Structure 1
Amino acid sequence: MSTFEHLDLSNSLIHALEDLGFQAPTPIQDQAYAPIRSGKDLVGISQTGTGKTFAYLLPLLRDLQYSKEIPPRVLIIVPTRELVGQVVNQVESLTNYTNIRVLGVHGGKNINTQKPGVVAGMDVLVGTPRRVYDLVLHKSLSLKSVKKVVIDEVDVMLDLGFRFQLTNIFDMLPKKRQHIMFSATMTEEVDELIDDYFNQPEKITIALSGTPLENIKQIAYKAPNFYTKVELLKHLLSSANAYPKVLVFVSSKRNADRLYEEMEEGYEKDLCIIHSNKSQNYRLRSLEAFNSGKKRILVATDVIARGLDIEDVSHVVSMDVPIYPENYMHRIGRTGRAEKEGTAILLYTPKEEEHKAAIEQLMKLGIAEEAFPAEVERSNELLPEERPKDKQKELSHKLGSKAPKGESTHEKKDKNKKVNLGGSYRRKLAKKYKKPLTRGDKNQNRRKK
C-alpha cells in the first residue's frame, strides 16, 4: 500500500495528516499530486467520497508560503455554501502548522459583513461563484494575484446556472494561471469550458469506488425512439414486487419532464421527479417520499442525483446512453451497494450504439442484450431532436444564391430589375450639385442657366 511519504509533502502537511488519522493517499490524491504541483492544468473526473478535495489541496498547500499580500493567490470556487464551509475546514485542518490564511465567502449572508474579512487579506479564498463575482464588482476583492484557480463540482455549478459568473471570473483573472477542475460527471457544457480556458489539461478519471461490477446485473434493450422506451419502461415497472425501488436517469431536464408526464397517468402514486428546475422544497419532498418507500420510482437527471444519499436501490434504469462513459458508471453505482445485488437496465436507440460501445470498452465488459418484448407497443412518435432533418431545405439554405436554377425558377420581371438609387429627391440633388472634375474646378458645381 502506498503512503504519503512518496509524495514529498512538507513536514507541516505530514503532521497535519497524522493528526487527522490519514495514512495513505486515495487513488485520485496519488494521481493528481504530481501534475498539479508541476503547474499543469488538470481535469479530474471523480465521484464524491474519493478524497478529491485533498487531491488539490495537498499539492497547492505544499509550496504556498505565508505572505502579507492582501489579494488571494489561490481561488477555490464551489457551488454551495455548505461546500464552502467544508473546504475551509479542510484547508484549516491542513494548515495547523503554518501561517496560511483562508477565508470563505458565500451567499445567504449580507455581503457587507464579508467585506472586512476580504479587505483584511487571505492566501486562499473559497467561495461560491456569485458571491466571488459580486465582491469583485463591489471592488472589495481583487483577483490580480491569483495564480491557481480550482473549480470544484463544476457540473453542479453549470447545472445551477452559474456559467455567466464563472466565465466572467475567468476573464478577470491574470492570464498566467493554473486551472484545476474537478467534476463527477462530464457534460457538453463542461467540455466547452475546458476548451475555452484550459491549456492542454491532463485528465484523470477515477472509477466509482466501492461498487464492484460483479454485484450489478447489466442488461440492455434496443428501442427505435424515446416514446417506445417509455412504453417499455411502463411494461417493465408494472410489477411492484419485481421492481421495488427504481432510480430512472435521464440526461436532460426536458426529457425528464416528458418522461414524468408520460408515466404520470398510470404510475402517479408511485412516481416522483427531481432536477435543478424544481424548487429545493419540491426536491426534498420527492427524495423523502422515495427514501421512505411512499414512492418507488424516482426520475432524476445525472447532476442533481449525484449528491443524493439513497439506499437500497433495486434497479437503475438509463433512459438514454450518456455521451460520457463515466456518467454511466456513476449511474449504475447507485445500486449493488454494501454487497447487495442490483440491476442496471440500459435503453438505447440505434443512434446511441456508439456511446454504448464506449461504455463497454471502459468497463471491459459487454452488456447483455435482451430481446424487445413482443407485447410492448412500438411508438411512431418522435421527439423534435429525433426527427430527420429536411436535407433539401438545409442544402438550399447553404447554397443560397449559388443554387442552380431549375424549372421552378424564372427571370425577374422588368419592374423587379430596378435598382434602388436612393429616391428621386437624392437624384435631383446629385444632378444639381455635380462632383467637380478636378479639386479646384468649381465651375462644374454652378447651376446651369
Structure 2
Amino acid sequence: GFAGTLWLAPLAERQTHRRQPTKFQTGWRSTIWSSLALVIAMLTIVQKMTAPALAHCHIHRRRTCSLFFLYVALSTAMLIRPAPSGLAALPRSNSACECRPVLSACTPHSTFGDAANEMPCWLLARAAALGFHTPTPVQSSSVGPLLNGEDALILAQTGSGKTLAYLLPLLAALRPAASVQALVLLPSRELALQVGQVARRLAAGSPERLLVMALLDGSGARRQRRWIVAQPPQLIVGNVQQVDALLEARLLKLNSLQTLVIDEVDACVGESSTRDALDKLLASHLSLPSAGASRQTVFVSASLPQHKHFRRHCVQRRWCRSEPLLVDASAEARVPLQLHHSMAVCLPAKRLSALRALLRHNERSIDSAILFVKPSRPLQRMVEALAGILDESPPALLSEASSVGRRAEALRSFRDGTRRLLVSTPIGARGIDVP
C-alpha cells in the first residue's frame, strides 16, 4: 500500500503537467491523487490487521476484492491517459526548456569602441558624436549577439537604451542597395516617429546613402507610397497597422528583408487591434519559409510574462529560425531609483480635488509631470479642472481619441517646457522620450 502511494504521487504529478497548468492547478491535482493513494494504502493495512478475525467472513472477502479492483482501476486509468502532443509535450523543467543560453545584464564592452572590429567605424563615430559613448548594460549584452545575426528576445526596463541596442547592429548590416532590408514595428505612431528620428540621425553619418522611412498613420500616405515604389528605403520604421495596409496593397516588397524588429512586443499583443494586425503579418507576409530562411528576428519588451513559452511559440509559428536568445537586462526594481511611490486615499468623488491639492502643494518643486488616466475617464473635464495650477493654460492632453496633429502638439509643448503638466492615457506610457 505504501509502495503504491509512492508510485501514484509522482505519476500523477507527471500527468498533470500535460496541459501546462499553473502551479496552483498542479498542486491540487497532485494532492487529490496522492490522497486517494494514501486512503487505499491505509484501508489495505486495516484489512490486513483485521484479517484473522474475519477470515471466514464473506463481507471481508468482498471488501478486499473491491479495494483490489479499485486500486487496479485507478492505476490503469492513469497509465492509459493519452500522451501530450504539440506544445503540451514540451518539458517544463528549466534545464530542458532552455535550449539556448540566457544572457543577463553584463558589460562585455566598456565602450562602443570595443566592438570596432564588428561595427563600422562610421557608425561608432556617429554614435559618439550624438553623445553615445558608454553602452548601457542592455546594449553591452545585445550588440554582440545581434551583430552575429542571432534571433533574440531583449528584456529591459523603459529608459535602459533598448532602442540603440538593436538600431546599432541593424544599421551596421545595411547595404546601399535599393531594397527594404530592415523593418521595425511599433505599437503606436508616437513611438514609431521617435525611433525613426533616432535611426535617421545615426544613418546620417554613413558614407553611403542609407534611407530611413517612417510609416505613420496620417502622415502623407500618397507621398510615401510613391517613394516606396520609386526608391525603396533600406530601413522602414512604422506602426503595425500602417505597415499592414501597405503590404495588403502590395506596395511594400519584403523579398530582401534581413532584419525584423518588433519593439514593445507586449504592447503590440496587448491591444486587440494591434494584436490582430501583427498576427496576420507574422502568419502571412513575415512568416519564414520552411527552408533557406536567413532573416534575423528580434523581439524587444520592457516586460513579457511567460517568455519561455513565447520563445517556443516563435519557433512553432515560424517567426524565428530557432528559439530566440534571451537577453535579460531587466532590473529587479521595477521603479527607477529617481522615483518614489506614494499613495493618497480618498473617496472616489474627491479624487480630482485631491489631485489638485497635491499639485498645488508641490507646485514649486515640479519641473514637469505626467498624469496617467484611464481612457474611459472624462478627459476634457479633467484637463479644464487642472488649468491654472502648474500652468495658466490647461495642460496638454495625449489620447488615442485626439487627432494626429493634437497629439504631436501635446508632446511638443511638453518637451519644450511650454506646459509643465501632460495628461496622458496609457498611450504615453510606452517609451516616450521626454526630458
TM-score normalised per structure 2? 0.50
Is 1:14–2:121 an aligned residue pair?
yes
In structure 1, what residue type is equivalent to 2:252?
L
Alignment correspondent of 2:297? 179
In structure 1, what residue type is equivalent to 2:167?
L
- Report 1:64-83 matches (<5 A): 64=173, 66=175, 71-78=179-186, 79-80=188-189, 82-83=193-194
**Distance verdict in 2 for CA 1:94–1:179, change over 3 Å:** farther
In structure 2, what residue type is equivalent to 1:178?
Q
- What is the Cα deviation at residue 150 of structure 1? 0.9
Counterpart of 1:31 (choices 141, 166, 176) is 141
Is 1:169–2:277 an aligned residue pair?
no
Alignment correspondent of 2:342? 219
Alignment correspondent of 2:263? 152
- What is the Cα deviation at residue 153 of structure 1? 4.9
1:363-414 CA distance string (max 9 Å, x none): xxxxxxxxxxxxxxxxxxxxxxxxxxxxxxxxxxxxxxxxxxxxxxxxxxxx
- How many Å separate the matches in 2 of 1:277 and 1:191? 35
1:309-347 CA distance string (max 9 Å, x none): 777xxxxxxxxxxxxxxxxxxxxxxxxxxxxxxxxxxxx
- How many Å separate the matches in 1 of 2:418 and 2:113? 50
- How many Å separate the matches in 2 of 1:291 and 1:119? 35
1:170-222 CA distance string (max 9 Å, x none): 22113254332334x5488999988864645514345699x973x5554346x
* Runs (5+) with no aligned partner, structure 2: 1-108
- How many Å separate the matches in 1 of 2:411 and 2:257? 39
Is 1:106–2:215 an aligned residue pair?
yes
Is 1:253–2:375 an aligned residue pair?
yes
- How many Å separate the matches in 2 of 1:232 and 1:27? 40
* Runs (5+) with no aligned partner, structure 1: 312-449
Equivalent residues, number? 295
Counterpart of 1:238 (choices 327, 333, 357) is 357
Instruction: Confirm or deny: 8 A CA contact 2:398 2:425 kept in the other structure.
Output: yes
**Distance verdict in 2 for CA 1:192–1:251, change over 3 Å:** farther
User: Sequence identity, in percent?
Assistant: 23
**Distance verdict in 2 for CA 1:43–1:303, change over 3 Å:** farther
Alignment correspondent of 1:411? none
- Report 1:14-413 matches (<5 A): 14-19=121-126, 20-21=128-129, 22-38=132-148, 39-48=150-159, 50-62=160-172, 64=173, 66=175, 71-78=179-186, 79-80=188-189, 82-83=193-194, 85-90=196-201, 92-93=203-204, 95-96=206-207, 101-107=210-216, 108-111=219-222, 114-115=225-226, 117-118=228-229, 120-121=231-232, 123-153=234-264, 161-171=273-283, 172-175=285-288, 176=293, 177-183=295-301, 186=303, 197=314, 199-200=323-324, 202-205=326-329, 213=337, 216-220=339-343, 228=347, 231=350, 234-235=353-354, 237-238=356-357, 241-244=360-363, 247=369, 250=372, 252-254=374-376, 257=377, 274-280=398-404, 299-305=423-429
Instruction: Confirm or deny: 8 A CA contact 2:123 2:202 kept in the other structure.
Output: no
Taking only aligned residues, the RMSD between alpha carbons, in angstroms, comes to 5.0
Alignment correspondent of 2:25? none
- How many Å separate the matches in 1 of 2:139 and 2:182? 18
Instruction: Confirm or deny: 8 A CA contact 1:269 1:295 kept in the other structure.
Output: no
**Distance verdict in 2 for CA 1:7–1:88, change over 3 Å:** closer
More moved, 101-110 vs 286-295: 286-295
In structure 1, what residue type is equivalent to 2:123?
A
- What is the Cα deviation at residue 102 of structure 1? 3.6
- How many Å separate the matches in 1 of 2:262 and 2:282? 11
1:195-254 CA distance string (max 9 Å, x none): 864645514345699x973x5554346x6xxx8466467446436642425957557423
Secondary structure at the counterpart of residue 277 of structure 1: coil
TM-score normalised per structure 1? 0.49
In structure 1, what residue type is equivalent to 2:342?
I
